[in-house]
Every structure is written in structure tokens, then in C-alpha cells.
């Protein structure tokens, strides 16, 4: 170090022991914890204390936390700390009430089956996947509501992560969006899939990958000719992912008949569109443009038609197919179906126009097929915080609006090792209708090292918003 030069060294004093003040929260909440310091004050020991008329359901076990690392562990390690359930002393010669059982391994008397289980032939059976039980002493489990799911032995159901999102168990409420370059086309998934080579996504939370269209060939070429009264077929071949909508566009108001039909390969897959001009007239000469469009883009290539004198006349018949959702035409029929432009959608087949997105929302791609494809980027509307010095708990709330519902998360921006911080937990905030409106971060056993700047991030497919909040813990 050169003479006169100063430097700063940030020093942290371990608060691992402070993490031992409160044991992990019960899920679901059950009874209360009675804790003591043992082994000369180096280890925190906690057992569940049940209210009058209840007892722990299970083999005696407890929580233990050592000051050296500040980590809570259950003992015996293979057993969870039991929940409190209703209990009655009943003579062994008499049966238990329905919904209650005897189990000599953890005590006499009759114990109600805990949440997540039900009484089946005198034993507490775990609720099957897709069902739940939020009460004690029950004889069956309830089916999860539509759009939710549960694992085995659940006391509540959780929202299923929709396509384009994932979580560690495929369930919400904190489903992450698939990152750019990845997708997920199925619900309730734990990861996203990489896009196949040569394809890409248009935004995060994608349900498919694609690539913009390319017109590969025009037949008979960029220049074509036909005799008056004759027939000419202009073919346009194109590829893309998803399969593009291909059609011929022209401003020529000629007298000849004009019909368009899809071109398919030997497997029946569409690979282009052909325009048949029958009974051609000199007024049919001019420029004809092939348009190819899909969700990922649009491309155009023109062909010039010349009509020469002749007496050959030929008629054609036009076959009409209904335009699918996300597309439209002048009469709702194909094959001249155009894709809905951005910021519009069409959720019905056979339509002559697309519907505009409402309330300032927009789409991220062409050919949108539902109102849900319209959305808006998140806006964080408010941040709040509080610190309770008595319970040593800090609460940070972040409220955000967006469509679709954004993923809202908190991050601590200071460079402090996690061992010196309180224990954070994220909780989804909902309104009176149960709709998500933000995220709360609860920090238990908060320390002075939790003082600093916190960032709330709200993100969905349409964008993200960030705001910061300063927390002071004294």
C-alpha cells in the first residue's frame, strides 16, 4: 500500500445464532413452539406445544439448531415434527369416533387424522394427488378445483403453472417464465425446453418456438405470360415455423377468373399457394405479390404477368375453405386467408375481420387466436415496508398491475452473506376476489445486516418494471 493511501474493510459479525431464536414455521400452522437453550447455551431445542384438547399426531420429535451454523434440523431426522390434532381419552374396549384412530406407537387414546389425510378403515391415509383435506378428523378428501393440483398428502391445492411457465414442482403461485430461447407447451412442468436449432422465441414465457417465413420459389418465376383466353398458374412456395399462411395479393382488376388453392406435399402438409387465372384478359396483366406470414413475421415477393393475344378460353372453379382462428378474409373463406396483424386477434373461424385488443393492450405476435394474447407490461403501483422490533420481523410489500398476471419477486441488493441475514419468505398478495396483486417478503429473525436497499421486480411476457425500497433495521 502506497503512503497516504486508505482502504476500507467491511467486517461482518456472525448472527448465525440469532437464526436459532425461532424454528421453521409449521405448514399448515399448528400449535406453538416451546423452546430452550441447552448444552451450555450452544443449541436451541424446540418442541411443539398443543392447545388444550389436542396432542401431537406422530412419534415424539423436535427441532434443534446449533449456534455454530444457525441451521434448524428435525430429530429424529427421518421424521417431521408432528402436527397438533384433536385427542380424546377413550377406553380401549370402545371404538374411536369416525375420523379418529388409535396408534400405540405414539400414545393411547384416539387421535383425529391430521390435515392432508383421512380416516380409512381405522388408519389415516394420505390424500391422493389431485385431492386435499384442510381439516382434521375427516373421512374423505376433496377434489382440487379446476386449474389447481396437489401432491400426495396435501392440505391445500395450488395453482398449476400454465404453458410457458414452470416451478420446482410445476405448481404456483411463483411460476417462473421460460427465458428467451426456451419454451414449454404443457402445463405443470418443472423446466422449459430449448428451441430446436434454427428457431427462436418472440418473448419470455413462450409456448412454442418458430422462425419467420421465407419464400423459397416462384413458378414459373418472377416473370410469367399467358395468352388471352388462356389459363396460367402462379405458384408460391414458402416455409417457416409455424406453417405460414401464404396467399397472392394483387391490385389488378382484370376480367379473368382468379382462384387460390393451397399446395401440399406428399404427406398433405401445406407448402405454398397457387393462383390460377382463367380466361385471361389483357386487363389481367400486371404485378402479383406472394405474401407469406406467420407469428414470427411476414415476407413478400412479386411476379410480373404479361397477357398476349389468343382465343383459348378456360374456366376454373373456386373451392372455399373456412379461415381458421387467427386469420380472416373478405368472406371468411379460404384459401385467401390473411393473418391477424399485431394488436388484434380472432378467436373464431370463418371471420371477415380481426378484433382489436382492448384497454391499451397489445399482442406480441401476428395471428393471435384469443383475447388472452393481448396484454400489457407490468407497472409497480406501490411499495411498503415495516419492522416490528418486538417480534423481530420485517415485512416488505410490492403491488403490481399487468396483464397477464406478472411474477413479482424481491431481491436484496446489498453484498451481505446470507448467514448474517434474517430468514426470508415470499407470500403472494391477493385481493378480495382471490386475484394476485403483488408479493410480500417476510423476514423473520431480522438483523441489522438486513438494513439496505431491496428491489422489487414485476415481469411478464410483455416486459418488466423495477422499483427499490430502503429498509432500516436498528
Predicted confidence (pLDDT) per residue in 348-363, tens digit: 999 999 999 988 899 9
Residue partners of 9: CB distance under 8 A and separation at least 6:
none
Residue 471 has pLDDT above 80, yes or no: yes
Residue partners of 435: CB distance under 8 A and separation at least 6:
405
Q: Is 389 exposed, middle or buried (0-12, 13-18, 19+ CB in 10 A)?
A: exposed
> Can you give the pLDDT at residue 390?
86
Predicted confidence (pLDDT) per residue in 294-337, tens digit: 999 999 999 999 999 754 444 444 456 788 899 998 888 877 78
Identify the bridge partners of residue 334 per DSSP, sorted by sequence position.
Answer: none
Region 388-405: what's the mean pLDDT? 91
Residue 226 has pLDDT above 70, yes or no: yes
Torsion 283-284-290-294 (CA) sign: positive
Q: What is the spatial distance between Cα 118 and Cα 105, in angstroms, rounded to a whole number?
A: 19
The pLDDT confidence band at residue 16, using thresholds 50, 70 and 90, is: low
Q: What is the spatial distance between Cα 334 and Cα 290, in angstroms, rounded to a whole number?
A: 15
* Residues 83 and 26 sit within 8 Å (Cβ to Cβ): yes
* Residues 141 and 125 sit within 8 Å (Cβ to Cβ): no
Cell reading at 249: 395479393
pTM, two decimals, is 0.73
* Residues 365 and 213 sit within 8 Å (Cβ to Cβ): no
Which H or E run includes 226?
strand 223-227
> Can you give the pLDDT at residue 318?
47
> Can you give the pLDDT at residue 12?
43
Q: DSSP 3-state assignment of 89?
A: coil
Percentage of the residues of the chain whose pLDDT score is greater than 90: 62
> Can you give the pLDDT at residue 118?
96
Q: What is the spatial distance between Cα 422 and Cα 43, in angstroms, rounded to a whole number?
A: 18
Residue 55 has pLDDT above 70, yes or no: yes
Mean pLDDT is lowest, of 88-97, 189-198, 458-467, for: 88-97
Q: What is the spatial distance between Cα 109 and Cα 298, in angstroms, rounded to a whole number?
A: 74
> Can you give the pLDDT at residue 47?
86
> Can you give the pLDDT at residue 2?
44
> Can you give the pLDDT at residue 188?
95
Q: What is the CATH number of domain 377-471?
A: 2.60.40.10
Residue 139 has pLDDT above 50, yes or no: yes
Which H or E run includes 303?
strand 297-308
Identify the bridge partners of residue 401 per DSSP, sorted by sequence position.
Answer: 379
Nearest to residue 166, comparing CAs of 141, 147, 183?
Answer: 183
3-state helix, strand, coil in the chain (%, to 5): 5, 45, 50
> Can you give the pLDDT at residue 15?
55
Percentage of the residues of the chain whose pLDDT score is greater than 70: 93
Residue 267 has pLDDT above 90, yes or no: yes
Cα angle at 165 between 25 and 348, to 5 degrees?
A: 135
> Can you give the pLDDT at residue 17?
62
Q: What is the spatial distance between Cα 205 and Cα 164, in angstroms, rounded to a whole number?
A: 4
Region 419-429: what's the mean pLDDT? 87
The pLDDT confidence band at residue 149, using thresholds 50, 70 and 90, is: very high
Torsion 109-115-117-120 (CA) sign: positive
Residue 383 has pLDDT above 50, yes or no: yes
- For the chain, counts of helices (H) and of strands (E): 0, 37
* Residues 110 and 96 sit within 8 Å (Cβ to Cβ): yes
Region 207-222: what's the mean pLDDT? 94
> Can you give the pLDDT at residue 191?
97
Identify the bridge partners of residue 43 per DSSP, sorted by sequence position.
Answer: 38, 66
> Can you give the pLDDT at residue 427?
92
Q: What is the spatial distance between Cα 221 and Cα 306, in angstroms, rounded to a whole number?
A: 12
Query: DSSP assignment of 390-441, as one string?
Result: TTTEEEEEEEEEEESPPEEEEEE-S---GGGS-EEEEEEEE-TTS-EEEEEE
Amino acid at each position: 500500500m502506497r503512503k497516504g493511501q486508505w482502504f476500507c474493510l467491511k467486517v461482518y459479525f456472525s448472527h448465525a445464532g440469532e437464526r436459532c431464536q425461532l424454528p421453521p414455521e409449521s405448514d399448515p400452522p399448528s400449535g406453538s413452539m416451546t423452546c430452550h437453550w441447552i448444552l451450555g447455551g450452544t443449541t436451541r431445542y424446540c418442541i411443539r406445544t398443543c392447545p388444550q384438547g389436542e396432542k401431537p399426531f406422530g412419534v415424539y420429535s423436535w427441532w434443534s439448531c446449533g449456534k455454530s451454523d444457525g441451521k434448524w434440523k428435525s430429530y429424529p431426522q427421518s421424521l417431521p415434527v408432528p402436527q397438533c390434532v384433536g385427542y380424546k381419552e377413550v377406553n380401549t374396549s370402545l371404538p374411536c369416533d369416525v375420523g379418529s384412530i388409535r396408534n400405540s406407537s405414539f400414545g393411547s387414546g384416539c387421535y383425529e387424522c391430521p390435515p392432508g389425510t383421512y380416516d380409512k378403515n381405522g388408519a389415516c391415509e394420505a390424500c391422493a394427488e389431485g385431492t386435499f383435506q384442510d381439516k382434521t378428523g375427516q373421512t374423505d378428501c376433496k377434489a382440487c378445483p379446476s386449474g389447481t393440483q396437489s401432491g400426495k398428502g396435501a392440505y391445500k391445492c395450488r395453482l398449476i403453472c400454465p404453458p410457458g411457465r414452470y416451478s420446482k414442482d410445476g405448481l404456483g403461485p411463483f411460476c417462473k417464465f421460460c427465458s428467451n430461447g426456451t419454451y414449454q407447451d404443457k402445463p405443470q412442468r418443472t423446466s422449459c425446453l430449448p428451441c430446436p436449432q434454427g428457431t427462436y422465441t418472440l418473448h419470455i414465457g413462450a409456448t412454442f418456438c418458430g422462425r419467420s417465413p421465407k419464400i423459397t420459389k416462384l413458378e414459373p418465376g418472377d416473370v410469367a405470360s399467358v395468352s388471352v383466353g388462356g389459363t396460367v398458374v402462379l405458384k408460391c412456395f414458402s416455409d417457416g415455423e409455424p406453417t405460414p399462411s401464404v396467399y397472392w395479393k394483387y391490385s389488378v382488376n382484370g376480367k379473368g377468373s382468379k382462384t387460390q388453392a393451397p399446395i401440399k406435399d406428399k404427406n398433405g402438409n401445406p407448402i405454398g399457394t397457387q393462383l390460377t387465372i382463367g380466361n385471361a384478359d389483357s386487363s389481367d396483366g400486371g404485378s402479383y405479390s406472394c405474401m407469406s406470414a406467420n407469428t414470427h413475421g411476414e415476407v413478400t415477393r412479386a411476379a410480373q404477368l404479361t397477357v398476349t393475344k389468343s382465343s383459348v378460353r378456360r374456366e376454373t372453379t373456386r373451392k372455399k375453405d373456412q379461415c381458421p382462428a387467427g386469420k380472416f378474409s373478405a368472406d371468411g373463406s379460404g384459401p385467401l386467408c390473411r393473418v391477424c396483424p399485431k394488436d388484434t386477434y380472432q378467436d373464431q373461424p370463418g371471420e371477415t375481420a380481426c378484433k382489436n385488443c382492448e384497454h391499451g393492450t397489445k399482442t406480441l405476435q401476428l395471428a393471435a387466436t384469443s383475447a388472452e394474447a393481448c396484454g400489457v407490461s407490468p407497472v409497480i403501483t406501490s411499495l411498503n415496508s415495516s419492522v416490528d422490533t418486538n417480534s423481530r420481523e420485517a415485512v416488505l410489500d410490492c403491488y403490481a398491475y399487468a396483464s397477464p398476471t406478472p411474477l413479482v419477486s424481491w431481491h436484496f441488493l446489498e453484498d451481505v452473506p446470507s448467514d448474517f441475514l434474517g430468514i426470508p419468505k415470499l407470500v403472494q398478495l391477493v385481493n378480495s376476489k382471490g386475484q394476485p396483486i403483488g408479493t410480500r417478503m417476510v423476514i423473520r429473525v431480522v438483523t441489522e445486516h438486513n438494513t439496505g436497499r431491496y428491489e422489487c421486480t414485476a415481469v411478464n411476457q410483455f416486459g418488466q418494471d423495477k422499483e427499490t425500497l430502503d429498509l432500516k433495521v436498528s
